[in-house]
Amino acid sequence: MISEKELQELVDFRTKESSVLSLYLNVDPTQHTRDEYRLTLKSMLKGVANEASAKDLAEVEKYFDFQYDWQGRGVVIFSCLEEDFWQAYPLAVSVENRVFVADSPYIKPLTDVLDEYGRYGVILVDREGARLFLFHQGELEETDGTLGEEVKRTKHGGGSAAGRRGGLTARTSRHEEEIAQRNLKEVAELAARFCEGGRCSRIVLGGTDETLTQFQGMLPKELQEQVVGSIPLDMAASETEVLDRSLEVIQEVDRRRKEELVEQLITAATSKGGHGALGLDDTLAAVQEGRAHILVVAEGYVATGYGCQNCSYVASHESKRCPFCGGKMAQIEDAVNTIVRKAIDSGMEVKAVKGSAALEEAGSIGAILRY
């Protein structure tokens, strides 16, 4: 798991004399064997053998041979041993296989992980109690639960004449419902405490449709607005099942949300007086001028550019001198990663969008502007 602080440290690190090896390796055990992943790793490292430091390459292989426990689904490594810089992040979620060598850590795929698999809560509830989970980056961070008064169900159709006429049965049913209502209210109060401070910006509910309909209306309005979906799950479900089923909901919500964001971006950029930028040129300008509010990038988009060696200004077209400070401009392999770093450092939101034909046709990158 990686924290926002650690991400900022990666953003801040840059070397002028050496190079940084950035490696993203998928190790999901449900897809391939450990030996197959080792072969993939060797092939990836061989592909950058002429660019990366031999020390960094050897250290990465040593890490997988002797230190990594092969328990997660993804691994991200940044290595620059010449400057005593080494960071390894085993992840509970999978990543796409990628390797880069540059003067700074290649963080763009990592921001994708943080965006898609950010913190969310799951409330698994029935008429007698609940189990609450807080997940972050595919890992369980915290759990809680409550068990209220047992709801004893009376068998209908037998018993006294009064019971058959509905007297006793009706009273018993009302009593059962009162107990269930009290239990659900206690769960709602627990959920409010569990999610206080904005920890559960997204909530997935689990249980039967009937129970969830009752329960959601008991939640504070703020929490009701944070519910993004529900799943039919039994209270006895394992933590792994809760995680896997809830992630399906989160991923679908994330996909729809990003589709809407792309539509918003394109409308803002193409309408008269709209506050949007599309394409590498306009987006670079918007981010560096501080006008961008949300940076939107197609996942996997890479583009060469030119960076000022004095003030770090980035341009998409070749230029010998920086238009701002007159410093020397040099080619950089991926201007997109550079502008993502600038956006994060400036406090802007960065959204990576996968498989959007509309965004790719519009230039694969854009920004919703503040003004």
Same domain, yes or no: 87 and 144: no
Tokens of 89: 């992040």
What share of the chain has pLDDT > 70, as a percent?
Answer: 94
Same domain, yes or no: 131 and 225: yes
Cβ–Cβ contacts within 10 Å for residue 90, how many?
Answer: 18
Distance from C-alpha of 334 to C-alpha of 337, rounded to nearest angstrom: 6
Same domain, yes or no: 157 and 194: yes
**DSSP percent split of the chain into helix, strand, coil, nearest 5:** 45, 25, 35
259-282 CB burial, b ≥16 within 10 A, e <16: eebbeebbebbeeeeebbbbebeb
Among candidate residues 237, 267, 290, the one where a domain is terminated: 237
The answer to whether residue 34 sits within a structural domain is yes
Element (H, E) at 297: strand 292-298
Cβ–Cβ contacts within 10 Å for residue 319, how many?
Answer: 13
Find, among 107, 73, 24, the residue nearest to 339 by Cα.
107
148 pLDDT band (50/70/90 cuts)? confident
Tell me if residue 346 falls in helix, strand or coil: coil
Same domain, yes or no: 133 and 229: yes
Find, among 264, 283, 280, 273, the residue nearest to 358 by Cα.
264
Contact 277, 283 (CB under 8 A): yes
159 pLDDT band (50/70/90 cuts)? very low
Distance from C-alpha of 46 to C-alpha of 43, rounded to nearest angstrom: 5
Where helices occur in 219-324 by DSSP H, the ranges are: 221-226, 239-270, 279-288
241 pLDDT band (50/70/90 cuts)? very high
Q: What letter represents residue 96's amino acid? A: E
Q: What is the pLDDT of residues 5-49, one digit of tens each?
A: 899 999 999 888 899 999 999 999 999 999 999 999 999 999 999
Q: How many domains does the chain have?
A: 3
pLDDT score of 158: 45
**Concatenated DSSP letters of 319-338:** -SB-TTT-PBEEEES-HHHH
The answer to whether residue 26 sits within a structural domain is yes
The answer to whether residue 54 sits within a structural domain is yes
Same domain, yes or no: 127 and 219: yes
Same domain, yes or no: 292 and 228: no
Same domain, yes or no: 162 and 61: no
Same domain, yes or no: 301 and 344: yes
**Concatenated DSSP letters of 141-192:** EEEEEEE----PPPPSS-S-HHHHHTHHHHHHHHHHHHHHHHHHHHHHHHHH
Query: Quick check: 164 pLDDT over 80?
Result: no
The answer to whether residue 85 sits within a structural domain is yes
pLDDT score of 282: 95
Domain of residue 189, CATH code? 3.30.420.60
Among candidate residues 49, 71, 106, the one where a domain is terminated: 106
Find, among 163, 159, 161, 219, the residue nearest to 195 by Cα.
219
Query: Quick check: 151 pLDDT over 80?
Result: no
Relative orientation angle of helices 108-116 and 4-12, to the nearest 10 degrees: 170
Distance of CA 55 to the CA centre of its chain: 32
Distance from C-alpha of 340 to C-alpha of 113, rounded to nearest angstrom: 14
Among candidate residues 44, 78, 106, the one where a domain is terminated: 106
The answer to whether residue 33 sits within a structural domain is yes
Distance from C-alpha of 23 to C-alpha of 106, rounded to nearest angstrom: 8
Same domain, yes or no: 171 and 264: no
Query: Quick check: 340 pLDDT over 80?
Result: yes
Same domain, yes or no: 124 and 233: yes
Same domain, yes or no: 132 and 224: yes
Q: What is the pLDDT of residues 50-101, one digit of tens each?
A: 999 999 999 999 999 999 999 999 999 999 999 999 999 999 999 989 999 9
The domain of 152 spans 120-237
pLDDT score of 274: 85
Find, among 251, 283, 275, the residue nearest to 359 by Cα.
283
Domain of residue 264, CATH code? 3.30.1330.30
Report the DSSP pairing between strands 314-315 and 305-308.
Answer: antiparallel
The answer to whether residue 250 sits within a structural domain is no
> What pTM did the predictor assign?
0.78
The answer to whether residue 243 sits within a structural domain is no
4 pLDDT band (50/70/90 cuts)? confident
The answer to whether residue 164 sits within a structural domain is yes
Tokens of 140: 């369980």
Same domain, yes or no: 295 and 332: yes
Query: Quick check: 108 pLDDT over 80?
Result: yes
